[in-house]
Structure formats: structure tokens, C-alpha cells
């Protein structure tokens, strides 16, 4: 319990603005003094001399602990790697390297973002501090990317993603610490992390190239998601600008709509702030079914401004249609299966 209280106090002091070194040192001393007092209070009256002796004895092993860390040949690499990253940043080498990489990839769409990933990866791996590398790349690369017309989300996401790669890419400070904790050779951890780090960097670069080269060729990119709130749907919502919600004119569809709207709200609050609901599309509507009429009336009452309309200002409704049911069994979309069917015409509208 005392450990949680110490963590909470240290966290609050860091938020207030106290430096890390003084915060951790002060919290340790204050809680050590309190612990020494309560340790003696169990036996009766607490005298200052006894309390001071108890307090000093609690920290008597601290010099040995400090010396053991100083003499650790593995941990000594940490300040040297941090120093290397600071040299790259402060000397301007990282910025010149970014400009050179940008020139190298100048004719490639998204080349500046690719350069940012490569330089950010190098800087993050050398400093080992995610916050430091992200801030450094934000200062160096963000103005350049915005100047060249990059989307703000792509630019900031590229910088943040490349900065977090420093946790695994050798030489990684995290891997050095883990090697010391688990008593494993640092070289073995570095060798194990190389393949994974290359895959991650490659995946980021491929994603940027796809976004930069594919997006320009299309007015709209439609991601068809399954009717379930699983990982595929969440990923689709995270990558989209807007969402079209087809809804069957049935009772249980309305029940699931509330959960879907809540999911869209959560994605907007946490992952994709630009996500908007483009509209609702009533499907499987039957004019002979009173339930279909009631569901459509409810949609019109609650989402009147979000229902699609045609050129004649009439609501677009996809009716129940035999051709719609048959087209999947033939492995074709309904527009190719029977372009003149009512379902095909409704979807084209």
C-alpha cells in the first residue's frame, strides 16, 4: 500500500513541475522518515535520537547500491547512448540527415514521411527516450512536412510512430535494462530484436507509401466491414473519415444501432477525432410489413438529417429484393449480377 502512495505522490509532484531527480529523492527520504517513526511508535514513546538512528540505518546500504550500479558494465552504456542521441540532435546532424533523405526520396510520393520514419527511428534508438525523440522530430520534421502539404494527422502520426520504435530497435536502452534484470547477454537481445524492428519499420514505410500513392487515385475509398463490433470494424473506423451505417428495417437492428453509435463515439474520442457519421441507409425494407414502416419512422424521427435522399428529395431505401439475395451465391455484387433490379438501382442512388 505504501508503494502505491509513494507512486501517487511522485506522480503528482512531477505533474506540478518538480524535477525528476529531486522528486524521487525527496519522496524516498520523506517516506523513509515516516516509516522509521511508525516502526518505533509500535514500541511506545519515540525519541529523536532513536528515530534518527533508525532513519539512518534504513539508508545505510544506499552507497553500496549506488556503487554497484555505477560499476555495472551493462548499464554504463545507457548515458553514452543518450549522449549520442543528444549529439545528433544538438549538432544539427539529424536535421541535415533528414533533408538529405528528403532529397533522396524527393521524387517518391510520401518520401518526406519515409525519411522522417528512418531518421526518427535512428534518433529514438540512440536516445532511448520516446518523449525526447518525439519532441526532437516534432521540432525538426513537423514544420517541413506541413510546409510540403502533408495532412496534419499523417505528419504527427508518422513522428509519434517512429519515435516509439526506439523501445525495440538496437541499440535500445530498454533492452539494455532488460538484459541486466534478466541476466542475459545484451547481444542476444539485440539479435532477437533486429528482425522484429525491421518488420515494424518496413510496415510503417509500406503504410505511408500506400497512403501517399493509392489515396490520390480515388475520390472515395470504401471499407466494407462485417456486421460485428470486432477488431476489423474498429480498425476500419479508425482509418475512415466518415461512416455510412446500413440498417435493416427490423427490431433487433435498432437494438444493435445504439451499441454501434456508442462505439463510433468512443473511436472519435480516443483514436480518430475526425470520424463523422455520413448517414444511415435503411435496407431490407418491405412496404407490406408494418415493422419495416415503424423502424423507418423511428429512423426518420431520430436521424432525419442523416438519411440519404435522391434528386427528387425522396428518401433512399433499399427494398427487399430477390436479386440482392441471389447475387452473393453467384459471387458477384448486385450491380454486376442484375443492374436493373430494384436493389441495384437503390444502391446506385
Q: What is the mean pLDDT of residues 115-144?
A: 68
Task: List, in order, residues 6 or more apart from 218 with CB less than 8 Å away.
Answer: none
Alpha carbon of residue 39 to chain centroid: 46
Question: For residue 331, how many other CB atoms are within 10 A of its CB?
Answer: 8
Residue 156, C-alpha cell as written in the block: 504527427
**Type and span of the H or E element at 71:** none
Cis status, amide bond into 164, omega within 30 of 0: no
- How far apart, in whole angstroms, are the C-alpha atoms of residue 190 and residue 61? 33
The tally of CA atoms less than 13 A away on the side-chain side of residue 335 is 5
Write the CA distances from 267 to 67, 231, 236, 271, integer angstroms.
49, 12, 10, 5
- At residue 106 the predicted structure's pLDDT band, cuts being 50, 70 and 90, is low
If one compares 327 and 175, the residue with the highest pLDDT of the two is 175
Q: What is the pLDDT of residue 117?
A: 82
pTM as predicted: 0.50
pLDDT at 129 > cutoff 60: no
**Type and span of the H or E element at 281:** strand 276-283
**Type and span of the H or E element at 277:** strand 276-283
Angle CA(228)–CA(229)–CA(230) in degrees, nearest 5?
95
3-state secondary structure of 285: strand
Render pLDDT for 214-224 as a digit per residue (tens, 0 to 9): 766 677 777 77
pLDDT at 204 > cutoff 80: yes
- At residue 306 the predicted structure's pLDDT band, cuts being 50, 70 and 90, is confident
- How far apart, in whole angstroms, are the C-alpha atoms of residue 131 and residue 284? 51
- At residue 340 the predicted structure's pLDDT band, cuts being 50, 70 and 90, is low
Instruction: Name the DSSP letter for residue 314.
Output: P
Percent of the chain scoring above 90 in pLDDT? 0
Among 156, 126, 151, which residue's Cα sits nearest to residue 139? 156
Angle CA(80)–CA(74)–CA(193) in degrees, nearest 5?
90
Q: What is the pLDDT of residue 130?
A: 54
What integer best gives the mean pLDDT of the chain? 75
Write the CA distances from 172 to 125, 165, 181, 303, 348, integer angstroms.
5, 9, 14, 52, 54
pLDDT at 12 > cutoff 80: yes
Among 249, 229, 227, which residue's Cα sits nearest to residue 238? 229
Q: Measured over all CA atoms, what is the biggest interatomic distance in the chain, rounded to whole angstroms?
A: 97
Residue 278 backbone phi and psi in degrees, to 5: -70, -40
Q: What is the pLDDT of residue 115?
A: 80
DSSP 236-252: HHHH-SEEEEEEESSHH
- How far apart, in whole angstroms, are the C-alpha atoms of residue 155 and residue 310? 38
pLDDT at 189 > cutoff 80: yes
**Cβ 335 vs Cβ 347: under 8 Å:** yes
Burial of 63-75, coded b for 16+ CB within 10 Å and e otherwise, reads eeeeeeeeeeeeb
| 317 conformational bin, left if phi > 0, alpha if psi -120 to 50, beta if neither | beta
Percent of the chain scoring above 70 in pLDDT? 74
pLDDT at 128 > cutoff 60: no
Amino acid at each position: 500500500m505504501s508503494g502505491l502512495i509513494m507512486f501517487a505522490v511522485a506522480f503528482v509532484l512531477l505533474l506540478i513541475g518538480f524535477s525528476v531527480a529531486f522528486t524521487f529523492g525527496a519522496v524516498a527520504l520523506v517516506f523513509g522518515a515516516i516509516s522509521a517513526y511508525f516502526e518505533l511508535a509500535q514500541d511506545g514513546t519515540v525519541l529523536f535520537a532513536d528515530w534518527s538512528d533508525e532513519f539512518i540505518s534504513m539508508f545505510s546500504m544506499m552507497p553500496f547500491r549506488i556503487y554497484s550500479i555505477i560499476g555495472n558494465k551493462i548499464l554504463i552504456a545507457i548515458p553514452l547512448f543518450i549522449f549520442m542521441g543528444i549529439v545528433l540532435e544538438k549538432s544539427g546532424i539529424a536535421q541535415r540527415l533528414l533533408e538529405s533523405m528528403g532529397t533522396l526520396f524527393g521524387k517518391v510520393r510520401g518520401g518526406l514521411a519515409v525519411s522522417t520514419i528512418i531518421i526518427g527511428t535512428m534518433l529514438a534508438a540512440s536516445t532511448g527516450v520516446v518523449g525526447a525523440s518525439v519532441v526532437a522530430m516534432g521540432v525538426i520534421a513537423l514544420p517541413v512536412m506541413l510546409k510540403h502539404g502533408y495532412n496534419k494527422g499523417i505528419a504527427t502520426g508518422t513522428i509519434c510512430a517512429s519515435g516509439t520504435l526506439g523501445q525495440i530497435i538496437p541499440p535500445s536502452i530498454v533492452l539494455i535494462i532488460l538484459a541486466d534484470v534478466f541476466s542475459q547477454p545484451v547481444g542476444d537481445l539485440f539479435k532477437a530484436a533486429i528482425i522484429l524492428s525491421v518488420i515494424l519499420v518496413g510496415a510503417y514505410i509500406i503504410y505511408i507509401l500506400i497512403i501517399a500513392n493509392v489515396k490520390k487515385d480515388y475520390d472515395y475509398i470504401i471499407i466494407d466491414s462485417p456486421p460485428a463490433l470486432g477488431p476489423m470494424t474498429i480498425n476500419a473506423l479508425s482509418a475512415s473519415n466518415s461512416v455510412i451505417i446500413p440498417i435493416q428495417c427490423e427490431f433487433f437492428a435498432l437494438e444493435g444501432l445504439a451499441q454501434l453509435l456508442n462505439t463510433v463515439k468512443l473511436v472519435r474520442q480516443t483514436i480518430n477525432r475526425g470520424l463523422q457519421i455520413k448517414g444511415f441507409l435503411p435496407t431490407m425494407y418491405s412496404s407490406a410489413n408494418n415493422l419495416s414502416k415503424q423502424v423507418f419512422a423511428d429512423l426518420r424521427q431520430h436521424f432525419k438529417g442523416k438519411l440519404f435522399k435522391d434528386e427528387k428529395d425522396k428518401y433512399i431505401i433499399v427494398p427487399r429484393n430477390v436479386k440482392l439475395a441471389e447475387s452473393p451465391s453467384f459471387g458477384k455484387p448486385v450491380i454486376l449480377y442484375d443492374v436493373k433490379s430494384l436493389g441495384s438501382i437503390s444502391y446506385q442512388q
